[in-house]
Amino acid sequence: MSQTKSQMSVPLAALDEFCRRVISACGANEATADAATRAMMHGTRHGVDSHGIRLLPHYIQALEGGRLNKAPQLRTVTNFGAVETLDADNAQGALAAYTGMQRAIALASAFGIGAVAIRNTSHFGPAGAFSIEAARQGLIGFTFCNSDSFVRLHDGAEKFHGTNPIAVAAPSSGENPWLLDMATSAVPFNRVLLYRSLGKHLPAAVASDARGFDTQDASNAQMLAPLGGEFGFKGAALAGVAEILSAILTGMKLSFDIAPMQGPDFSAPRGMGAFVLAIKPDAFIDRDTFDRGMARYLETLRASQPRESCRVMAPGDREWAVAALRDKLGVTVDPVTLVAFERLARRYAVPMPSP
């Protein structure tokens, strides 16, 4: 492990252990520690740093404050053939989403498709972590959720939708899955926080000031722009898809009714919803034909003509490349997260991550 005044490079396994030990030390049960850590490590390993280990201090604050149930009793409250509704009992969101996706996979194995609406959940981190669970078992996985308002509408000047992510993962025989994991905002808000921590300017047209105008100053960003730039109505509409499935279909709060993720109240549950779906390809077409189709699609996509000095990649290719690199070299922890980890280590008498 190398360390400077502002950052530290640490192996993935050490980060995984640290997160599990801190979550357990705060009194959360083993299932919560496992799910939250798995989701955060998915983000960190694949380069989705805005939804990786930097979320640990936030989750601890929510667990200690009472927003999250440290020992939730998740239960199915309705079922209808291939459809179920899961009450997460205000669990940490990753536990709810992993549980929901495993139920969706089981339903899809029986019916060809499985859908689970999740009630009384919370922030779950990187949506792709849950869709990929289906792909690893040979199914196509979909994950949706909404979140507290931080994204303006197209041509809007006030916060309306949350970042409302959509994630889809499809299996590809013999290689990593095709993986889409996107916010319907131009960037996730945690990316703004990360840029603030690193002192970096934001890209153009991803965040707005208090009047709804573009700003590249991360410290001045008061809301996010919808995906699409000049065609942001498309991103705003996709956010609506996530809103309908994860909030209206579950009976949970709409984005503009959800308490802010950053508090100040960390004592009350936020009443969030999510939605997961799994599809079994074999229910529609024989497996060999599906596998050949995916292989031909990806092979042709990656071999297509790139622009000068560019490379064509399939969704997920960048993440798999980052994962391979970080498996070998570890991760550089950003300065704000490093300070927060040091505080957590002292508070819970847990050793800092080491080589």
Closest CA to 219 of 198, 202, 196: 196
Contact by Cβ (8 Å): 177, 294: no
Q: Which residues 6+ apart lie within 8 Å of 83 measured at CB?
A: 107, 114, 115, 116, 117
From the CB of residue 221, how many other CB atoms can be counted at a distance below 10 Å?
24
Q: Rounded to an integer, what distance in angstroms lies between the CA atom of residue 229 and that of residue 204?
A: 9
Contact by Cβ (8 Å): 332, 9: yes
- The reported pLDDT for the residue numbered 6 is 53
Structure tokens at 129: 């972590």
Any long-range contacts for 344-348 (C-beta under 8 Å, 24+ apart)? 344/22, 344/56, 344/57, 344/60, 345/18, 345/22, 348/21, 348/22, 348/25, 348/26
Give the sheet arrangement for strand 175-182, strand by strand.
Answer: 75-80, 83-87, 113-121, 272-279, 140-145, 166-172, 175-182
- The reported pLDDT for the residue numbered 228 is 92
Q: Rounded to an integer, what distance in angstroms lies between the CA atom of residue 40 and that of residue 272?
A: 19
Question: So where are the chain's domains?
Answer: 71-295+315-328
Q: Rounded to an integer, what distance in angstroms lies between the CA atom of residue 127 and that of residue 46?
A: 12
Q: What is the pTM of this model?
A: 0.93
**Three-point CA angle 56, 72, 150, nearest 5°:** 50
Which stretches of the chain are assigned E, i.e. beta strand?
2-3, 8-10, 75-80, 83-87, 113-121, 140-145, 151-152, 159-161, 166-172, 175-182, 207-208, 223-224, 272-279, 331-333
* CATH level 3 topology of 71-295+315-328: Ribosomal Protein S8; Chain: A, domain 1 (3.30.1370)
Question: What is the chain's pLDDT, residue by residue, as a tens digit (355 residues)?
Answer: 444 445 668 999 999 999 999 999 999 999 999 999 999 999 999 999 989 999 999 999 999 999 999 999 999 999 999 999 999 999 999 999 999 999 999 999 999 999 999 999 999 999 999 999 999 999 999 999 999 999 999 999 999 999 999 999 999 998 999 999 999 999 878 788 888 888 899 998 899 999 988 899 999 999 999 999 889 899 999 999 999 999 999 999 999 999 999 999 999 999 999 999 999 999 999 999 999 999 999 999 999 999 999 999 999 999 999 999 999 999 999 888 999 999 999 999 999 998 6
- The reported pLDDT for the residue numbered 7 is 62
- The reported pLDDT for the residue numbered 50 is 87
Q: Give, for 33, the enclosing helix (H) or strand (E).
A: helix 30-45
- The reported pLDDT for the residue numbered 197 is 81
